[in-house]
Structure 1
């Protein structure tokens, strides 16, 4: 067989590509007819069994193993695109992912009660005052889960929880609480975190043998703390609890990693200021309500969903954002209790629940994943 020159090969490839595009257009037109049928009958877009049968059928048409995998990927993507087209058509007919959220001009702020975890002087306490103002009716509980319970029961109107730190990453336990309780993220606030080493008034840095703080605070100050290898590092509920403990124990060999504000509240001396190694250290706090509401000008949406444990499932799910032009801002995964090596994904995206592109994306995710929840629009 005579080898063709490069220009002739490219010419033939161009001809084949034109045919592929023409056939693809015909296929998409038929997909539109499928969408019309499903709109009339109320059938879901995603039919996992039908797609699996199609994949097995087309891969069986080729012998070479490389070609089998290539054909599998090609048709997987074509069917994914077809689904997105069908979601778009269904949304135009008013069929979208259902949710109970309602827009409001502003969050209710008069005569509200706010709960936070820890004690006075904790960073969460500071975050609550920063968002709601110094005159808000505010109280504290022992744990983050207690705070979620207070809101779900209606004892508090809002809870303030840390969810992510720029140095230490996600506060993973609080992601789990978002699933466990039926509360909704309605706002967020960012708080710069500046840790200090605090001790009794008569203590000096050389006296310290034990340091108390929240695990993330210890992590955020690990470079400073680990340089002093004789110090025991002990985790407590939060930074303000650590400061309070040092004050109450009255032991000059103890120190706390906490804010200077907490030091002032509990009468402690700053032994060393600004000990966190990331000087731009910031914690993101979320504001939760039991009411599924969102401000009309909200621009971020948090969702969660579960996926089957198989190759490509996350990629296919994220394509719902790609084909709708939705920007993903964050992704976090958490293991699903009782199901080894299976994960729940938490994702933040830009947008508002009233946006058509968001509705299309969420429709796809609700059909293709499982246990999809909108955690909030804020």
Structure 2
């Protein structure tokens, strides 16, 4: 027998013993779960886990193994917690109701950001097949408030652009308000430069648009360094401003629909940075409902400020076989250098694995909110 074969045989023997002790430990974890259930104790005990890891570190003979030992036993304890959650089956009521469809009728009020001719109005019309009464709002906040005050049945907001990324303000509002994502829609963005009918490109000194509109057209705008760039409302409201100010030196970056709505002149077509410029919009409601065939879930959560907190939370996706498709963080207002995480993952609110993951995260996070469940645009 070669030296390597002998060593491997010894490893196999050790692994067999490790397996035996692991299964014994899991049996003990089940007994702990029953005790905690009987006595109303939480599964997750951070103080106990820290105490356990500290005591193990003192027993390590080769200190070079410290990080590995901490990682190993952190995983073992995480596996034990998940087993206890599953055994107790004490999933909290998510509070969401499945519905067959979301539709708009002739009397359905839909609040959307922007003005007539905006991309958000286009998303609204396409998602609801031209039905419903569109209620234009000047800010993202006003859309949220309209739902909160039951002045609108649905809301439509932009949340991400393919070239400039997510709109951070929307994430903050989703965490703050009890409004929920029920759907999403993608619109192809075709930014154009619009001026008064008598204007020429050489006349323009000031350009208005939403901040995202300016960013998405920066490659074009950099060719004209003399231009003053002004952020102002939505792209559609910027078009309306050029029309109402009646100043030949002003122009707006807006959609074709917006420019045509306010009778402006097309000075330059398709000036966005990328050929395939798209914006993703979310459809929101103040009711905790979801389309029963929804297969994507959005959540946000805040974590204690300690080492390994995010690592432990992410393990719940892995061990429940859930595909995490997005995660990003946002500062929590009023709490310096503390962050809230926003995540999207595949699954149904009716799946046992999803319920187990959400329950586990809810037990270990400082806060958890389900932002909605919907069918993502492919």
- The verdict on a shared fold, with TM-score over 0.5 as the criterion, is yes
The one of 182, 203, 207 aligned to 1:211: 207
- 2:160 and 2:167 in contact (8 A); partners too: yes
Q: Aligned pair 1:174/2:170, yes or no?
A: yes
1:82 is matched with: 80
1:104 is matched with: 99
- 2:324 and 2:344 in contact (8 A); partners too: yes
2:198 is matched with: 202
Alignment of 1:209-358 (within 5 A): 209-358=205-354
- 1:103 and 1:296 in contact (8 A); partners too: yes
Structure 2: how far apart are the matches of 1:28 and 1:237? Answer: 58
Structure 2: how far apart are the matches of 1:65 and 1:339? Answer: 37
Structure 2: how far apart are the matches of 1:252 and 1:65? Answer: 74
Q: Aligned pair 1:43/2:41, yes or no?
A: yes
Alignment of 1:76-155 (within 5 A): 76-91=74-89, 95-107=90-102, 109-110=104-105, 111-155=107-151
SS in 2 for 1:244: helix
Give CA deviations for 1:336-374 in whole Å, capped at 9, x if unaligned: 112211100111111111111100000110001111011
Structure 2: how far apart are the matches of 1:320 and 1:268? Answer: 54
Q: 1:108, CA displacement in angstroms?
A: 5.0
SS in 2 for 1:26: helix
Unaligned runs of 5+ in 2: none
- 2:103 and 2:128 in contact (8 A); partners too: no
Higher alpha-carbon deviation: 235-244 or 40-49: 40-49
Q: CA RMSD for the aligned pairs? A: 1.5
Q: 1:185, CA displacement in angstroms?
A: 1.2
Structure 1: how far apart are the matches of 2:38 and 2:321? Answer: 28
Structure 2: how far apart are the matches of 1:135 and 1:80? Answer: 49
1:24 is matched with: 22
Q: 1:329, CA displacement in angstroms?
A: 1.4
2:9 is matched with: 11
Q: Where do 4+ consecutive residues of structure 1 move more than 6 Å?
A: none
1:33 is matched with: 31
- 1:195 and 1:274 in contact (8 A); partners too: yes
- 2:220 and 2:271 in contact (8 A); partners too: yes
Structure 2: how far apart are the matches of 1:17 and 1:346? Answer: 39
Give CA deviations for 1:138-160 in whole Å, capped at 9, x if unaligned: 11122111111110111111111
- 1:38 and 1:45 in contact (8 A); partners too: yes
- 1:102 and 1:293 in contact (8 A); partners too: yes
1:160 is matched with: 156
2:358 is matched with: 362
Q: 1:332, CA displacement in angstroms?
A: 1.9
Higher alpha-carbon deviation: 238-247 or 307-316: 307-316
TM-score (norm 1): 0.95
